[in-house]
């Protein structure tokens, strides 16, 4: 069970408060954007896939450079600026929709801007946490932050579906915009001073290569990165078309789609609550590859979804996948923060994010192409097979011979 713990610390509580509502808003837009494109702008499956490409392509373009900035600069100002920029960009959608001039082209531009700023935020955030929290509290901090994401994963789809169906899709994006403003204000209120990193300034690309060398030269970090890339590639192919599949093949309303997502994503909250206990019982290293398998074996239920009672397959698949993803996320972030020296953590985070998020635009394009060639259900089947096979990276890695995760850089892990 996750108790108060770090929430008694005022600065962590501010970080947590900034994160909790922002995560709900992000989850709202994840469903509201494709629903807006499909129901208001009459976008095709391929055009919806291009929207997801635009949301994530910036990780390929600037992800590694942002990692260098996070090692050179204070991270909290980067977080605040990224939140304010996302607030302004998303605010333009309900404004232009109210004026009757919203176009698919503008939506592409907005998701590209928001996606670029999300690269900055998502790489700076895990680099900032060890600067605010002592290393022996990192698993607890990451578990509490993952619990935010898990709770948002449950609340956001139902909220987004209800807003889209009963108010409008642009109103749902207005909610998301306001959550980024909320996040910026709370982050700005953190009192602890963040000292600028003391680093030797060098040319950017040698520093980028150093981060790449740490990840690909470490057998466990390499396996985690390769799993993340493969999993994200096929999961994003799935996500690029699944909303279109639910609307056009199964003829579900936005409210029902949101309720299905929220019900299945109870697995995310369950994982956030149980990861600590499961780690103590099974061992962090073992739990990492078991979580990868859990994602893989439940994902093939998605293409088996049919109307009526067949929707249970969708709920079970979402529950199992979200449970595995959250367990894996908590342990992977904690592992990187523990084994990486502070002066390269930003670049290691960036490399890891680029491997995962850089695969997403490629997977989105793959989903769009496959939907044209194989249909929506066929695309979901191919994506499920790819996710299942991705777990082999973890199962065949050195994690299989370990039980626990390291406590700090250079500390060996316990064997099985």
Q: pLDDT tens for residues 170-202?
A: 888 998 899 899 999 999 988 887 777 655 666
CA distance 41 to 34: 10
Residue 319 lies in a domain: yes
Residue 78 lies in a domain: yes
Q: DSSP letter string over 145-156?
A: HHHHHHHHHHHH
64-73, 216-225, 394-403: range with highest mean pLDDT: 216-225
Mean pLDDT, to the nearest integer, of 290-315?
Answer: 90
Domain that holds residue 139: 5-185+205-401
Residue 304 lies in a domain: yes
| Higher-confidence position of 280 and 320 | 320
Bridge partners (DSSP) listed for residue 402: 415
pLDDT tens-digit map of 319-330: 888 888 888 888
Residue 72 lies in a domain: yes
Residue 411 lies in a domain: no
The total number of structural domains that make up the chain: 1
With cut-offs at 50, 70 and 90, classify the pLDDT of residue 2.
very low
Q: What is the per-residue pLDDT for 197?
A: 67
CA distance 227 to 231: 6
Mean pLDDT, to the nearest integer, of 131-155?
Answer: 74
DSSP 3-state of 341: coil
What is the domain-level CATH number for residue 383?
1.20.1250.20
Our CA angle for 114, 239, 228, nearest 5°, is: 80
Cβ density class 170-199: b for 16+ within 10 Å, e for less: bbbbbbbbbbbbbbbebbeebeeeeeebee
Q: What is the per-residue pLDDT for 101?
A: 93
Percent of the chain with pLDDT strictly greater than 70 = 92
CA distance 182 to 114: 16
Q: DSSP letter string over 346-381?
A: HHHHHHHHHHHHTHHHHHHHHHHHHHHHHHHHHHHH
pLDDT tens-digit map of 252-278: 888 888 788 777 667 777 877 787 788
Residue 193 lies in a domain: no
CA distance 22 to 35: 20
Residue 198 lies in a domain: no
Q: Write the CB contacts of 258 (distance below 8 Å, at least 6 apart in sequence).
A: 31, 157, 158, 159, 160, 161, 162, 164
Q: What is the mean pLDDT of the chain?
A: 82
Q: What 8-state DSSP symbol labels residue 167?
A: T
Residue 98 lies in a domain: yes
CA distance 349 to 337: 9
């Amino acid at each position: 069970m996750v108790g108060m713990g770090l929430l008694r610390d005022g600065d962590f509580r501010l970080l947590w408060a900034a994160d909790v509502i922002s995560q709900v808003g992000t989850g709202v837009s994840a469903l509201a954007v494709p629903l807006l494109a499909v129901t208001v702008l009459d976008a095709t499956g391929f055009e919806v896939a291009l929207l997801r490409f635009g949301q994530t392509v910036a990780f390929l373009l600037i992800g590694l450079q942002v990692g260098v900035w996070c090692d050179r600069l204070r991270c909290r100002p980067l977080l605040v600026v990224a939140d304010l920029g996302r607030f302004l960009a998303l605010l333009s959608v309900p404004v232009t929709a109210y004026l009757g001039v919203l176009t698919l082209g503008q939506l592409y531009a907005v998701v590209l801007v928001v996606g670029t700023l999300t690269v900055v935020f998502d790489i700076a955030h895990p680099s900032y946490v060890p600067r605010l929290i002592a290393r022996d509290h990192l698993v607890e901090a990451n578990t509490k932050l993952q619990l935010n994401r898990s709770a948002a994963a449950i609340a956001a789809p139902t909220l987004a579906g209800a807003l889209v169906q009963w108010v409008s899709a642009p109103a749902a994006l207005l909610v998301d915009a306001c959550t980024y403003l909320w996040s910026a204000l709370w982050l700005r209120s953190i009192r602890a001073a963040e000292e600028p990193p003391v680093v030797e300034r060098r040319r950017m690309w040698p520093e980028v290569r150093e981060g790449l060398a740490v990840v690909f030269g470490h057998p466990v970090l390499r396996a985690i990165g390769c799993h993340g890339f493969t999993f994200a590639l096929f999961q994003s192919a799935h996500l690029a078309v699944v909303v279109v599949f639910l609307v056009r093949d199964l003829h579900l309303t936005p409210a029902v789609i949101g309720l299905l997502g929220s019900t299945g994503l109870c697995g995310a909250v369950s994982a956030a609550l149980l990861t600590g206990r499961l780690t103590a019982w099974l061992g962090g290293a073992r739990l990492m590859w078991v979580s990868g398998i859990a994602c893989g074996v439940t994902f093939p239920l998605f293409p088996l979804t049919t109307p009526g009672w067949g929707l249970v397959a969708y709920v079970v698949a979402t529950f199992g996948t979200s449970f595995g993803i959250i367990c894996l996320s908590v342990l992977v972030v904690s592992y990187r923060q523990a084994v990486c020296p502070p002066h390269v953590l930003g670049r290691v985070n960036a490399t890891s994010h680029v491997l995962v998020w850089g695969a997403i635009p490629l997977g989105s394009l793959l989903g769009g192409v496959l939907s044209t060639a194989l249909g929506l259900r066929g695309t979901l089947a191919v994506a499920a097979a790819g996710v299942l096979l991705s777990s082999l990276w973890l199962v065949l890695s050195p994690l299989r011979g370990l039980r626990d995760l390291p406590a700090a850089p250079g500390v060996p892990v316990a064997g099985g």
